[in-house]
């Protein structure tokens, strides 16, 4: 249950521009969260126009961030998609997910009680135009606001279905295939994502190692509140030098005294994750 509603609504401005949306075209194998084995090798282009969104800084609690943290490293866009778009995308991805069982992982897994798939054949899996348009709009936002400085190729979207009682523990995404951003569309349930400085820039294997690391880095962290239908982006150092995790249900988010705390009950959550391929 959300006990307090954050006040600010997103400010949007109309920027209509020509879109060159890169689409992955390679077939890839399924991946795990910590070490995706996907690779995108070629791209096709399409032309569309979309409205760009501005981020919602009130959804980021950086009060205990390290002094070199800058807002562009972790951004959340509230209400990135409409209810209709969210429902459409959930229905499309559930066609793939319903054939799978929740995986429990082993005792110190990064992710527990989850299903996952990769949209390596996005054109055929995503059947509705509403969902297709939404995925293109996300890519356009990421391309224009977070990746405009470089030429890149998209990896196939990665979909995670996290059970209400599932866990997504602290990790840094593998740098083997994935590039400068990790961005996710959060569907169905709210959650809090915590970033903790991790200068090794690589996955901490094993619960003991992760706990030791957390103890060593002390109290520095950044929390992102991810309401359903929001889009988060971890960019550059936010992706390479901070681990990310979802806090347990019942955790509290508070970005400043004025907004007040909100208690976030995490339920069944689906996320659609976008990554650029490593250069």
Nearest of 112, 253, 239 to residue 183 by alpha carbon? 239
Smallest distance, ligand AKG to C-beta of residue 16, A: 29
Binders in 20-39 for ligand AKG, by CB under 6 A: 33
Smallest distance, ligand AKG to C-beta of residue 212, A: 21
x-or-dash string of contact with ligand AKG, 207-226, rule CB under 6 A: --------------------
Smallest distance, ligand AKG to C-beta of residue 189, A: 11
- Is residue 138 within 8 A of residue 48, CB to CB? The reply is no
Smallest distance, ligand AKG to C-beta of residue 162, A: 6
Of 23, 244, 262, 276, the one binding ligand AKG (CB under 6 A) is 244
Site membership for ligand AKG, residue 183 (CB under 6 A): no
Site membership for ligand AKG, residue 243 (CB under 6 A): no
Measured CA to CA, the distance from residue 251 to residue 107 in angstroms comes to 22
Smallest distance, ligand AKG to C-beta of residue 274, A: 10
Smallest distance, ligand AKG to C-beta of residue 239, A: 9
Binders in 142-171 for ligand AKG, by CB under 6 A: 158, 160, 168
Cβ nearer to ligand AKG, comparing 19 with 24: 24
Nearest of 208, 214, 235 to residue 224 by alpha carbon? 235
| Residue 150 CB neighbour total at 10 angstroms | 10
Smallest distance, ligand AKG to C-beta of residue 157, A: 11
Look at the block and give the residue holding tokens 């936002």.
141
- Angstrom distances, CA of residue 155 to CA of 26, 128, 240, 257: 9, 21, 17, 39
- Is residue 88 within 8 A of residue 51, CB to CB? The reply is no
Of 153, 169, 230, 271, the one binding ligand AKG (CB under 6 A) is 271
Of 73, 125, 203, 273, the one binding ligand AKG (CB under 6 A) is 273
Site membership for ligand AKG, residue 184 (CB under 6 A): yes
Site membership for ligand AKG, residue 73 (CB under 6 A): no
x-or-dash string of contact with ligand AKG, 108-147, rule CB under 6 A: ----------------------------------------
Smallest distance, ligand AKG to C-beta of residue 166, A: 10
Give me the residues that bind ligand AKG (CB under 6 A), please.
Answer: 33, 158, 160, 168, 173, 182, 184, 244, 271, 273
């Amino acid at each position: 249950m959300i006990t307090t509603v954050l006040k600010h609504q997103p400010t949007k401005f109309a920027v209509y521009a020509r879109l060159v949306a890169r689409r992955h075209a390679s077939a890839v194998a399924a991946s795990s969260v910590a070490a995706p084995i996907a690779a995108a090798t070629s791209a096709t282009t399409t032309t569309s126009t979309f409205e760009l969104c501005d981020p919602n800084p009130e959804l980021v609690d950086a009060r205990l961030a390290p002094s070199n943290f800058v807002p562009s490293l972790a951004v959340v866009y509230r209400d990135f998609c409409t209810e209709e778009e969210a429902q459409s995308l959930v229905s499309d991805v559930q066609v793939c997910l319903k054939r799978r069982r929740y995986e429990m992982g082993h005792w110190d897994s990064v992710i527990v009680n989850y299903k996952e798939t990769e949209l390596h054949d996005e054109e055929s899996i995503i059947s509705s135009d509403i969902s297709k348009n939404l995925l293109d709009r996300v890519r356009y936002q990421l391309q224009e606001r977070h990746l405009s400085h470089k030429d890149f190729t998209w990896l196939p979207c990665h979909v995670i279905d996290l059970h209400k009682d599932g866990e997504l523990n602290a990790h840094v995404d593998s740098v083997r295939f994935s590039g400068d951003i990790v961005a996710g569309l959060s569907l169905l349930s709210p959650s809090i994502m915590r970033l903790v400085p991790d200068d090794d820039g690589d996955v901490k294997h094993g619960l003991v190692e992760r706990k030791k690391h957390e103890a060593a880095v002390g109290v520095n962290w950044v929390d992102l509140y991810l309401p359903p239908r929001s889009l988060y982006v971890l960019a550059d150092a936010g992706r390479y030098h901070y681990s990310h995790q979802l806090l347990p249900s019942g955790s509290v988010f508070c970005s400043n005294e004025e907004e007040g705390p909100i208690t976030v009950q995490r339920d069944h959550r689906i996320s659609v994750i976008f990554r650029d391929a490593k250069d």
